[in-house]
Structure formats: structure tokens, C-alpha cells
Amino acid sequence: METVLKSARQRHDSLAKQFNELRAGSMGMGQKLADLSASVDELLEKHVELEMQDSESRLYSRASKMVDLGADVDELMQECDLPKAEAELLLNLRKRQAANQQR
């Protein structure tokens, strides 16, 4: 009977040790998953920012091409949704660039 009891205690100790190792491992994995989730959230936020910047740059590229083709302030405001001040600024900049290239 003592042998059976001793064997049961050893088995219990072994299982308790394995359980503690599994628990520690799962806690570590939980932390790694939380870190990965935070990284994914950060990457998604940066992706959205880049998409917004890209669409803005495309808008200004389009407006710049329109100026090269002879568009006026009103056309830039209407077609590219630019405020009047930005449309005027873009027109003036492109005119200056053209004048500098002719020199």
C-alpha cells in the first residue's frame, strides 16, 4: 500500500510540475499574442495613414497635370476639390517653374 501511495505521490508531483510548465508556457504565449496584436494594430494604423497620403499625392499630381494642360483656378477647385488658395498657389508655382525652365 505504501508503494502505491509513494507511486501516486510521485505521479502527482510529476503532473503538477508539467501543469506548472504548461501554465507558464501559455502565459508566455498569451503575452506574445498580445504583443503581436499591438504590432498588427500599429501596422494597420500606418497603412491607413499611407493610403491617405497616397490619395492626397495623387490628387495634387492630377491637379498639377491639369495646370500643365491649361486648367484655371475654378477647374482645379471643381475637379480636384482644392480650396481656392491651394489652387491659386499650385497655379503660381507651376507658372514659376515653367518660367524658370525657359531661362
Q: Which amino acid, residue 9?
A: R
Q: Write the DSSP assignment of 17-53 as a string of letters.
A: HHHHHHHHHHHHHHHHHHHHHHHHHHHHHHHHHHHHH
Q: Report pTM.
A: 0.45
Bigger pLDDT: 99 vs 43: 43
Measure the CA–CA gap between 13 and 36, rounded to whole angstroms.
34
Task: Please say if the pLDDT value at position 42 is more than 80.
Answer: yes
Per-residue model confidence as pLDDT tens digits over 47-69 = 888 777 766 777 888 888 899 89
- Between the alpha carbon of residue 26 and those of residues 21, 23, 31, the distances in Å are 9, 5, 9
